[in-house]
Structure 1
Amino acid sequence: MNLYRAELRRLVKRRFVRYLVLAGLLVLAAVAAGTFLTNQKLDAAAYAEAERTAEREYQLSITWTEQWRAECERSKTSGGADAGQFPPDCASITPPPRESFLAEHYLPATFEFRDQFPATLHTFSSLLTLVFFVVGASFVGAEWTSGGMMNLLLWRPRRLQVLFTKLAALLTGTIAVTVPAVGVWTAAHWVTAVLRGDPDGMTGGAWQSFALSESRVLVLVAAAAAVGFGLAAIGRHTALALGGVLAFLVLGQSALGFLAELVDARYVEAWLIPTYWIAWMDGAVELSDWRACPPGGAECVPSTLELTWLHTGGLIAVTVLVVLGVAAWMIRRRDVT
């Protein structure tokens, strides 16, 4: 029997994997539905209603101001104990100008595809990265815990071949779910923009930029699955991958941030994983160093550091190679017991 097909079948048949992936996709569907329901197309009726709301708010501010001024005058006349909470001259209590109540401030939310869709990819990538990290960890971790891995290695004693065939099946499943999912995610938000927002402004360059962002999402999700797989293979238990990453994100990042502050690092954010995640998703992030600026609010142009998706890509590649390399080394040197 072909080992790759057997591992792919094993992945698909695992109930935990199916339920976890289904739960993740349902959450994404709920988010997309919520975006659709909470946005509205801006037509003439919406602008007219916003104008009426602005006028209503302006009239309310006039009424409130008059009441407050009358209370001020009564307090000043009677010499009440609360006179100190009013200005010395009650006539200075005036309502804001009508220009402060613009109709644009009262328009309902509308989904502008070109400006708002990239932010939705952050939600998409965060959820699927977490889902497939857990899937990758459980795929090999459960095999070691149940003894299935030991039985498989007795039948197919080529350890590295077994390990990397499992990884290939995992990545195949990850890509098979992520690619159509990101396609449906894009289509759902495009429909939202057409029916309840603004789809204008999309050029060939904008679509190409979105396609590159979605390809980076795919790489990120696949890398998370590979790292989860590798960590669980090293510890031969799913809990090691989950606990190790949790400890790194909570304790390790806190320690790195504290160390950066302690040594007075120029760009503290460059020590933190979320900065690289933003650079990966958005293409680049610019960090500023304000330490050289004099105190007292004097005008100053801080030095900057730009981190791009290439920096994050290098970090991802090194992490994946190191984790999988250690996993391969461990499975070669350790006896199957």
Structure 2
Amino acid sequence: MGLYRAELRRLVKRRFVRYLTLAGLLVLAAIVVTTFLQNQKIGPAALAQAERSAEQEFRAAVEWTEQWQAECERSHASGSPDLNRFPPDCADIGVPTRDSFPAANYLPLTFIFAEEFPATLYTVASLLFLVFLAAGASFVGAEWSSGAMMNLLLWRPQRLRVLFTKLAALLTGVVAVTVPAVLLWTVAHWLIGALRGSTDGMTAGRWQSFALTELRVVVMVAAAAAVGFGLAAIGRHTALALGGVLGVLVLGQSALSFVAEAVGVRYPEAWLLPVYWIAWMDSSIELTDHRTCAGAPACVPPTMELTWVHTGALTAVVVALVLTVAAWTMRRRDIT
């Protein structure tokens, strides 16, 4: 417990981790404030204004269409109509109807919590994923670069115990920040819905669905921190870990996409990590093989469903592999 408490203090004291986490939370707070200011509750005044705006747009469209028809008729009457601008029959220029300008299109933004909140979880998940990926890499990578790891191992020579105690302290910190952040994010957007939109339509089942998605957010953020930690432990440098992740996300994904398209695999999207991210957040995603029905109008293309289970299994394999290699290099390599 002494080593674990020391690592927790070390994590909290590390300025890069503190400032990066604070910056991420401030960005989330700024997004919440912006969302609050951009939305408003729809009342009788807003509905009346929307009706007036729709009516004005309709009248302007009718006036423009009538002018266009008159120009078309004059062009045809001249004996040499400009068919590049006008149709052969001026009657083909349809006059818009009032139904084409619903008042709903002119209402100000309003936040419907039940419909719009799930999409906001992508924002908090993506930002915290990046923040703690970098924080996890820095937590161990900076200690190798500064020589603090060598000093620590002189005091506590059990290499694997030190490594995994650091990881445990890191994950504790990640969960301690992510869980309140996600809960506050939920409360803030519920208040935005209550004050600047609507919270109607929330049932026990919908709340349960949101809670499960938020739980998956916490798990994925913790996995990102563990991967960043493991890569930095392998390379003994923060930049190497972040560079490796960037290489996989950009170069590796581009190469896999190109190869999948070139060899004509059945579901090329299944080789792309963003598809698994969507499956994790939305619980499932359906992929369609359109190539099978190329040139066959009556054909029904085959589909494949990826679920959060597939993403979870892939993530577990990646985390286990990275940490296993990190433990092996920690045990085998010299501490210099």
- TMscore range, shorter length: over 0.9
**8 Å CA contact 1:232, 1:240 repeated in 2:** yes
For 1:237, the equivalent position in structure 2 comes to 237
Contact kept? 1:279, 1:307, Cα under 8 Å: yes
- TM-score of the superposition, structure 2-length normalised? 0.96
| Aligned partners of 1:135 and 1:225 also within 8 Å | yes
2:326 is matched with which residue? 327
Report if aligned partners of 1:72, 1:83 keep a CA contact under 8 Å in 2: no
Q: Is the 8 A contact 1:286 1:304 kept in 2?
A: yes
**Cα displacement string for residues 69-128 of structure 1 (whole angstroms, at most 9, x for unaligned residues):** 222233334456845411223344342111111112222222111111111000100000
- Larger displacement relative to structure 2 (322-331 or 1-10): 1-10
Equivalent residue for 2:164? 164
Q: Which moved more, 1:224-233 or 1:252-261?
A: 252-261
Q: Residues 294 and 252 from structure 1, CA distance in 2 versus in 1: closer, same or farther, beyond 3 angstroms?
A: closer
Supply the AA of the counterpart residue of 2:229. F
Is 1:195 the counterpart of 2:187 in the alignment? no
After superposition, where does 1:1-337 map in structure 2 within 5 Å? 2-78=2-78, 82=82, 84-295=84-295, 298-337=297-336
Secondary structure in 1 matching 2:293:
coil
Residue type of the alignment partner of 1:336? I
Match of 1:119, as an amino acid?
A
Using the alignment, how far apart are the partners of 1:94 and 1:311 within structure 2?
A: 51
Q: CA deviation at 1:326?
A: 0.5
User: Per the alignment, in what secondary structure is the counterpart of residue 288 of structure 2?
Assistant: strand
Distance 1:178 1:235 in 2: 27
Aligned partner of residue 42 in structure 2, secondary structure: coil
- Pair 105,300 (structure 1): closer, same or farther in 2 beyond 3 Å: farther
Distance 1:84 1:247 in 2: 51
Distance in 2 between residues matched to 1:84 and 1:257, nearest whole Å: 42
Alignment: residue pair count: 336
Distance in structure 1 (CA, Å) of the matches to 2:239 and 2:87: 64
3-state DSSP of counterpart to 2:255: helix
- Structure 2: give runs of 5+ residues left out of the alignment: none
Counterpart-to-counterpart distance in 2, 1:249 and 1:79: 62
Letter paired with 1:333: R
- CA shift digits 1:247-284 (9 cap, x unpaired): 11111111111111122111111011001000001100
Per the alignment, in what secondary structure is the counterpart of residue 169 of structure 2?
helix
Report the Cα distance in structure 1 between the residues aligned to 2:325 and 2:91, rounded to whole angstroms: 77
CA distance in 2, matches of 1:83, 1:224: 60
Tell me the percent identity: 70
Question: Over aligned residues, Cα RMSD in angstroms?
Answer: 1.5
Q: How far 1:299 sits from its partner (Å)?
A: 3.2
Question: Residues 306-327 of structure 1: CA distance to partner in whole angstroms, max 9, x if unpaired?
Answer: 1110111101111111100100
CA contact (8 A) 1:75 1:83 kept: no
TM-score (norm 1): 0.96
CA deviation profile, 1:105-157 (whole Å, cap 9, x unmatched): 22222211111111100010000000000000001000000000011111110
Which amino acid counterpart does residue 241 of structure 1 have in structure 2? A
Provide the rounded CA distance (Å) in 2 between the counterparts of 1:92 and 1:240: 64
Q: Which amino acid aligns with 2:47?
A: Y
CA 1:25/1:99 → structure 2, altered by over 3 Å: closer, same or farther?
same
- Name the amino acid aligned to 2:302: S
SS in 2 for 1:305: strand
Q: 3-state DSSP class of the match of 1:187? A: helix
Say whether the 8 Å CA contact 1:139–1:229 is kept in structure 2: yes
